[in-house]
Structure 1
């Protein structure tokens, strides 16, 4: 391991300019146009998104945040969040997989402290267009990493490993009790096809049905020295992964809400006639429906404004690399928690109340209007939003900051 001087470096310096944002918005829009027609089918069939992830690879989106020196696009986090939102509006499951990919791939920077090794990870990933996933569910019992004299052996099971079943690389972590990493959290990445990795195919939940979020079982899986990304040294910069992932959630819920409103608009404009007690000729002209949609659109716009500001702010903070302080980290954590609260509550409300505007006929299964609520309802239970409210309130009143974890 090298000294902390290399750890100070971050490949995400500066801010995205208009040209970068526009370029990748267009790429994401083209991909989204191809994903949207099959989204309901994938949801209904609980399908593994194999072809869809091939599309992400061929589009260049998987290499968006990889440094140019390593063969990537060298883009910024603000751009990545815009891309994720565009994809998630077409299919939240695919947007979630892509978002997790960016953060798992970024573990190379967040946990790796050898500059040459980090660049090599990125080069190999970019050249092979790897899609990264993880099995880091902290509420499951820890994985067991046992030193065998030369390398390590991994055993255990992790649930809710989004994308792992169809990704190229799985990131995981464990604390061995002996060997060179004894007593430290080792972060490593193993190929999905390595012997001993078993995907249980047990994801059959209410929403996010095409997210390939089944459990992963490890049985004596070899973890070689070359697989090790780094160790968790309790650096504020490394722990930026968690507020980043929570920010991802807020952006995804926003995207789902926007997609639901757009779908509701289409259905409402297509409705013939009008309610018999109204004085208008079509439902689309009914001021009652205008009020419902207007309220939901306005609240969603407020969530979007907060998300946009935090997307840029997050990029500014991670651009500091190892210079990120505990105070920097705490400030962004609490701000993101506030977004998580409003994105969840506005999203759940909007995706339920759109039926008030679209009417009884919109509940037909062929419309799939229920998919938006089911997706937000399923994923928003990732960690209790009530604790996010407590986090924000305690900080506002007393300045208290929650302990650093994979949830805060």
Structure 2
């Protein structure tokens, strides 16, 4: 039995948190459990069944679900903080939780009121864990209209959540049209084959391998946002990209903070001053103080910007029908700005901690390299140069980015 499995019962018979601070504290407890054997889990790269069960047992999976259905009733400002807390201990589990929040929220982005009510009630009741097979770099799944149902077929090279998910979000295009259709389907069915081929240097526990979709049937009534086979369009439908980009920002920042805190503990407890230094302790070395101060200041600055942009995003979520194309575009520019800075600072922090921990800190038993590997792996998701370009175009030409799968 792993540490995670043994300590999952910590939350049995305990009341659900009620306030944002209580939920963030709960996330801190989850992170403390994950941190104990994070290095060993990273090396093993095993499917994180126990870790997802911990997220369920702690209640974190229902954080955004309405309180009337038994969920946490919290907003995205709190959700992003929770993602950060979990990612401090384990970047993979922070990513899984963040993607879960986005896919669980997807029904609010594109669904009808009746679909939203049904999905959120079931998700909260059963503590569903969401995955998604919606990688836009691949060709779309092909959807065949058979009358009362639609049938999905195709392949996606990335499907984060994979085998640990209860439900999977699918997206495809109706044959002979340009109409995209989202649907939520059970993950455990013969028509979805997860290929167990995620073998990357970082984010090793995210179950992000490929998936094959074979004749997955969905009732037209469950096609998200469709009424009588016609999609109900609104600007808010396009907010999935800014929302998930902020998920990225926050688990990058969580990983960076985890790296900085882990390194600081190592420096205090194990690092030695340089041979010819006049100082007896590493914590008194001027260059060590300078580097920690530099990295800490940069990280705090980006965290503050991320918090500010999260508040801006929440204003949109609070009144989705009022969102205009201009407001959506200006929000995306702000998201692009914080994504660019978070990427650069997280990479710098996770790389430079070795300058202030020393040669012995590179031992594989310490696992300090996992922070950099995790950030480096996921920050290649989409080129950060395009994010900076969005900001530049807005500043120079007052133009906003058109909604795409990446903007």
Alignment TM-score, normalising by the size of structure 1 = 0.92
**2:255 is equivalent to residue 221 of structure 1:** no
> Does the CA contact (< 8 Å) of 2:271 and 2:282 recur in 1?
yes
Runs of 4+ in 1 over 6 A off after TM superposition: none
Q: Once the 2 structures are TM-superposed, how far is the Cα of residue 357 of structure 1 from its aligned partner?
A: 0.3
- In structure 1, the residue matched to 2:7 is none
Query: Could you tell me how far apart the structure 1 residues matched to 2:399 and 2:202 are?
Result: 35
Query: Could you tell me how far apart the structure 1 residues matched to 2:121 and 2:274 are?
Result: 61
Which deviates more, 344-353 or 270-279? 270-279
> Does the CA contact (< 8 Å) of 1:156 and 1:217 recur in 2?
yes
Query: Could you tell me how far apart the structure 1 residues matched to 2:58 and 2:32 are?
Result: 13
Which residue of 179, 184, 187 maps to 2:182? 187
> Does the CA contact (< 8 Å) of 1:157 and 1:216 recur in 2?
yes
- In structure 1, the residue matched to 2:91 is 92
> Does the CA contact (< 8 Å) of 1:111 and 1:238 recur in 2?
yes
Deviation readout 1:66-88 (Å, 9 max, x if unpaired): 11233322111101111111011
- In structure 1, the residue matched to 2:396 is 397
- In structure 2, the residue matched to 1:336 is 335
- In structure 1, the residue matched to 2:299 is 300
> Does the CA contact (< 8 Å) of 1:25 and 1:86 recur in 2?
yes
- For structure 2, the residue ranges without an aligned partner over 5 or more in a row are 1-16
> Does the CA contact (< 8 Å) of 1:20 and 1:79 recur in 2?
no
Which deviates more, 168-177 or 268-277? 268-277
- In structure 2, the residue matched to 1:5 is none
> Does the CA contact (< 8 Å) of 1:271 and 1:282 recur in 2?
no
Residues 176 and 19 of structure 1: CA distance in aligned 2, closer, same or farther (over 3 Å): closer
Q: Once the 2 structures are TM-superposed, how far is the Cα of residue 271 of structure 1 from its aligned partner?
A: 2.6
Residues 141 and 273 of structure 1: CA distance in aligned 2, closer, same or farther (over 3 Å): closer
- Report 1:140-179 matches (<5 A): 140-177=138-175
- Report 1:66-77 matches (<5 A): 66-77=65-76
Q: Once the 2 structures are TM-superposed, how far is the Cα of residue 228 of structure 1 from its aligned partner?
A: 2.2
Q: Secondary structure at the match of 2:215?
A: strand
Q: Once the 2 structures are TM-superposed, how far is the Cα of residue 233 of structure 1 from its aligned partner?
A: 4.9
Q: Secondary structure at the match of 2:276?
A: coil
- In structure 2, the residue matched to 1:136 is 134
> Does the CA contact (< 8 Å) of 1:130 and 1:168 recur in 2?
yes
- In structure 2, the residue matched to 1:210 is 205
> Does the CA contact (< 8 Å) of 1:78 and 1:315 recur in 2?
yes
Query: Could you tell me how far apart the structure 1 residues matched to 2:23 and 2:165 are?
Result: 22
> Does the CA contact (< 8 Å) of 1:190 and 1:227 recur in 2?
no
> Does the CA contact (< 8 Å) of 1:92 and 1:375 recur in 2?
yes
Q: Once the 2 structures are TM-superposed, how far is the Cα of residue 226 of structure 1 from its aligned partner?
A: 4.7
Q: Once the 2 structures are TM-superposed, how far is the Cα of residue 33 of structure 1 from its aligned partner?
A: 1.2
> Does the CA contact (< 8 Å) of 1:88 and 1:94 recur in 2?
yes
Q: Secondary structure at the match of 1:229?
A: coil
- In structure 1, the residue matched to 2:195 is 200
> Does the CA contact (< 8 Å) of 2:155 and 2:210 recur in 1?
yes
Deviation readout 1:197-232 (Å, 9 max, x if unpaired): 100111000100011111110111222235422256
Residues 318 and 289 of structure 1: CA distance in aligned 2, closer, same or farther (over 3 Å): same
Query: Could you tell me how far apart the structure 1 residues matched to 2:89 and 2:396 are?
Result: 40
